[in-house]
Structure 1
């Protein structure tokens, strides 16, 4: 009998509890022991990025096991392949791609606790001169996603001045103060960073959200507005030191909340304009000391008709639409907002003066209006936009909102760029077998005059111009990528600068003067 009992006990030891090598791991405990030190106890991020489904869109689930096993080169992510079993790695992948049991909280307490003001803030002075001899208005900021760095590039000599580490996964173009002295970065994980372009130092940082779309800076340099996917909020910061001013919950009259698709500033209107992912509304938030002129003296009407959510400082004007609006851009007067519609059949034109949609435009597929540009054509002004789904650039007359032409390209494009001093517009072919191509379009004839293939087999994208428009800088979107400099008139290559996946480059002068060929 003793032998039988002993045998049964041995069997139980071998088939249950922690002694089993193939037992299903406890996912939360495994995460706490292996991942929490860098990614936070609640997966909200710490030294490493947040590991929540909303924050992992750029890493496909079927690739995540390889990242855990092999690590990520040029980052602090180590390889766990020799430490964890395949089952444990699979358990971690399933865990981080599952929503948490309780919705994560990132409110006033958490935002204020994250605030960092660096010594450079006290040392900075309005009388400071740049610590370099380059033209501060012809600098580029090159965001290198391959190893999460930013390079400050001299636009005249085309040489790097400084390279510094950024927060994880910067998203959206950096936003400059009106003089170009300061720049504000937003990361996917919600970190907002203020950087001094004269002293080349970080001034302040704060974490405004868990998953952030982008940020905008007021034209008077007083405020920074941050739009979040998670939580569903807009966060208003003091531009001087990034301290928290206000949190605005993004909800409709019935309590339905929404992610924020984008937020931009409309300088002549002294307001921020906000696109919402989950509500058929556009919000306009005035930062003027007296918001009445911004809303055309009709504050009372907007309270009743458009749902002015709050009076006093930073009132929210809500413009109802009949479809969702994901991304958008403004006409040069900032009177009209042109955005994509979710129905994939048309775009929408919203007149901000009267507070309603005034036209549908022929934009099928997935127009990337956040990359839209305008220029003078014949006796009118046109807008042009690439398309993330179809191989086409659509040209729209901005007087009557009719399509002038659809230019067929070799595949879907992501970025369209130009400059007022160049006759050409450049559009990439970002998706598909021709992703290594860039088309050059003549703005007078609306014809493709040349197709470049800078590095066969490697993705080309995002062109930006020097201050004078004489040189065009193009990105090779690979970890072993480069910035390729072209003569904007002859289209001949001038120079190559090795970079680690340079996803975007931003010229100070073009940004602060709102060049008609670049995004704002």
Structure 2
């Protein structure tokens, strides 16, 4: 090759490199952390908003996530990726920094939520149709394990149960409930192969929670008054019923929306739990799990959530009284404020240290931000039929 040809080739290479750099500089990625970011579900449009709760700002929208009419989110350990569980069985991995879909799979016909393992390696999805739990590699979304929720029904036939209340637990476990089967299953992902253990529970567990220390798994029961609780430190003891017969002798109201136990409240050694089909928040002493009080509220509670400092309990409600939020003082156990964030309140999320709470109002197409000290509105943000709000601090909490 002549010197002239070498010079021409070099000039072309340099020009190409400069051109690539110029193209990249037009759309630079911001250099920032993800600790104050989050995702908000826009349930009617199959999209999520990427938000910044420090600046109280919407950074962008990611579309193409399918049916999000009932959706939830968990986060990778580095809080860069959000895993969105859609109602259509879709599992979507969203990159918060590039605001794009990193990966997406359709893993069932109808799913109801999921969890990420303690070590961050596995993402598990809970399914209504065909039932069971599917577990995926969090990096690639390749299938690791399929767990059919098989049981013998009342007719003595083999059947499949809906699975609900899926959470992560210490020791790299997953725990979930079977609605029709009335069982609680644990999955040990440290074992080779993963080890599944079954326990009898109460009638029709519909949702569940795990205490912040990961010790107690508690499933709400739709088929009877009470909750089914397992001590995960002593799983050999099985599940026992707590708060049995809390509505005995009373007429049960029509249930317009099932309560969610995920955001349940623990404050000053007390557990605040929504009562199914009643206008009450139940208070249980966590020493013996006996009920100590019923707090009358204005409707059927859906979310009963404590602020990070445990001083306040925020309660949202089912239709038709779902346009308000009531705030309970955890010490006096009295309602201290009734707020009106908008039409059809669906979800609440506290900022990590609890100075503010974000509230979604589906039919008002907005998010309302409140100061938790003054209980006054700080700002509102536009959103398209918003529902779930999920901040990235969930990446570092059990059961969220």
Q: How would you bin the TM-score normalised by the shorter chain? A: 0.7 to 0.9
Contact 1:323 1:341 in 2 (8 A): yes
| 1:220 is aligned to 2:119 | yes
| 1:467 is aligned to 2:343 | no
Mapped partners of 1:223, 1:385: distance in 2: 30
Aligned residue for 2:65, secondary structure, equals coil
| 1:165 is aligned to 2:63 | yes
Contact 1:484 1:496 in 2 (8 A): yes
2:396 maps to: 513
**Aligned pair count?**
357
Mapped partners of 1:154, 1:438: distance in 2: 23
Mapped partners of 1:162, 1:400: distance in 2: 47
Unaligned runs of 5+ in 2: 1-27
Aligned residue for 2:287, secondary structure, equals coil
152, 164, 171: which one aligns with 1:269: 171
Contact 1:339 1:369 in 2 (8 A): no
Aligned residue for 2:158, secondary structure, equals coil
What is the CA deviation profile of residues 176-210 of structure 1, one whole-angstrom value per residue up to 9, with x for unaligned ones? 11221221111111111112223322211111101
Mapped partners of 2:223, 2:360: distance in 1: 32
Correspondences of 1:4-19 after superposition (within 5 Å): none
Aligned residue for 1:326, secondary structure, equals strand
212, 237, 245: which one aligns with 2:144: 245
User: Deviation of residue 422 (structure 1)?
Assistant: 6.0
Q: Which has the higher contact order (CA 8 A, sep 6+)?
A: 2
Mapped partners of 1:481, 1:200: distance in 2: 21
> Could you say which structure has the larger radius of gyration?
1
Contact 1:134 1:156 in 2 (8 A): no
| Greater fraction of residues in strand | 2
365, 382, 389: which one aligns with 1:481: 365
| 1:384 is aligned to 2:266 | no
242, 263, 283: which one aligns with 1:360: 242
Contact 2:123 2:137 in 1 (8 A): yes
Aligned residue for 1:368, secondary structure, equals coil
Mapped partners of 2:58, 2:36: distance in 1: 12
Aligned residue for 2:35, secondary structure, equals helix
Aligned residue for 1:435, secondary structure, equals coil
34, 46, 50: which one aligns with 1:136: 34
Mapped partners of 1:234, 1:467: distance in 2: 30
2:315 maps to: 427
Mapped partners of 1:501, 1:270: distance in 2: 35
Correspondences of 1:186-197 after superposition (within 5 Å): 186-197=85-96
2:295 maps to: 407
User: Deviation of residue 437 (structure 1)?
Assistant: 1.4
> Do the aligned partners of residues 232 and 421 (structure 1) sit closer, same or farther apart at CA in structure 2, a change above 3 Å counting?
closer
Mapped partners of 1:188, 1:390: distance in 2: 27
Aligned residue for 1:491, secondary structure, equals coil
Contact 1:150 1:166 in 2 (8 A): no
Mapped partners of 1:216, 1:425: distance in 2: 25
Contact 1:251 1:258 in 2 (8 A): yes
Mapped partners of 1:131, 1:348: distance in 2: 48
Contact 2:219 2:228 in 1 (8 A): yes
Q: Normalising to structure 1: TM-score of the pair? A: 0.65
Mapped partners of 1:437, 1:321: distance in 2: 34
Unaligned runs of 5+ in 1: 1-129, 292-311
User: Deviation of residue 147 (structure 1)?
Assistant: 2.0
The alignment yields a C-alpha RMSD, in angstroms, of 2.2
User: Deviation of residue 245 (structure 1)?
Assistant: 2.1
Correspondences of 1:91-102 after superposition (within 5 Å): none
Mapped partners of 2:371, 2:115: distance in 1: 32
Mapped partners of 2:42, 2:61: distance in 1: 10
Contact 2:317 2:325 in 1 (8 A): yes
Contact 2:38 2:392 in 1 (8 A): yes
> Do the aligned partners of residues 372 and 342 (structure 1) sit closer, same or farther apart at CA in structure 2, a change above 3 Å counting?
same
Aligned residue for 1:415, secondary structure, equals strand
> Do the aligned partners of residues 329 and 440 (structure 1) sit closer, same or farther apart at CA in structure 2, a change above 3 Å counting?
same
Aligned residue for 1:136, secondary structure, equals coil
What is the CA deviation profile of residues 315-349 of structure 1, one whole-angstrom value per residue up to 9, with x for unaligned ones? 11111235332211112332221111233311122
